[in-house]
Amino acid sequence: MRVLLLGATGFLGRYVADRLLADPAVQLTALGRRDDSDVRFDLSTGSPGALTRFLDAVHPGVVINCAGAIRGGARELTRHNTVATATVCEAMRRSGCNPRLVHVGCAAEYGMSQPGSSTGEDALPRPGGPYGVSKLAATELVLASGLDAIVLRVFSPAGPGTPAGSPLGRLAESMRRAMQQGDIELRLSGLGVQRDFVDVRDVARAVHAASLSAAQGVVNIGTGRAVRLREAVGVLARVAGFAGSVHEVDEPHMGVQAPAYPDGCGLWQQADVRTARDRLGWRPRIGLEESLADIWMEAACRI
């Protein structure tokens, strides 16, 4: 099976690439903006015609889109998430190879949800910020494209390679600095937020399963369990061997770390993952403690 992977050098894309390369039946080609890609191509500025010619030359059976941006202004997010996806869809429609599309979306497309609820794929999306809006627009383009396509709405990915600027990455960095400086107290705010953390390696397994399935439409990828950041801090302290105390303060101020979530999803988000189980045969395997231990190992290397 020939697979074209877009965004292979990103946080999710790297693990998707590893998963696909472990499958002897897969012949993988990586396309991206960086020099270490098999083919350099910027989806946000490249033309659909140029991408169509490349598709016809490679003739993949599956195209996996992990490309995009998570930070930046509305214009930049629209260019990298929405316009880039429009280019992919148009190129695939023009191509003669008729490949399947696996598009990686995100839970920020849903926006805020009721505490205690599990968000299913039939929930009405109400994104609360430019990132979620740009990703939702990309999903709508995929669903309206007429292609053989599936969108995986990934909830809060965690594990090795977690960006240092993400909430879990900032928590690990705060703990690293406290231990490096010999502090016996760590002051944090915003720990009441609850998210459905799913390990990035489990996400890669879901992408692999989606590429082999006939399922279409939107499928949530999460664990089905929301975890309070306060609980994640406790697990992180345990795996790090942090002997000090963690104090939560109501509001961030000078000297207080705030692992804020800029995803526009409020205090609570939890996935309903029954569709992934029923249609992809997928279940998460890696627990949050293992994910946090791997995040900590990377942070500890900076001591």
The DSSP bridge pattern shows strands 194-195 and 227-228 to be antiparallel
Place of tokens 């693990």: 15
Find, among 106, 128, 93, 75, the residue nearest to 7 by Cα: 106
Centroid of chain to Cα 99: 23
Task: Report which secondary-structure segment, H or E, holds 227.
Answer: strand 227-228
> Following DSSP, what letter does each residue of 83-95 receive, concatenated?
IHHHHHHHHHHH-
Whether 15 is a known active-site residue: answer: no
Distance, CA of 237 to CA of 21 (rounded, Å): 34
Instruction: Please pick, among 15, 110, 131, 261, the residue that the annotation labels catalytic.
Output: 131
Q: Give buried/exposed letters for 197-225 (b at 16+ CB in 10 A, else e).
A: bbbbbbbbbbbbbbbbbebbebbbbbbbe
Catalytic residue numbers read: 131
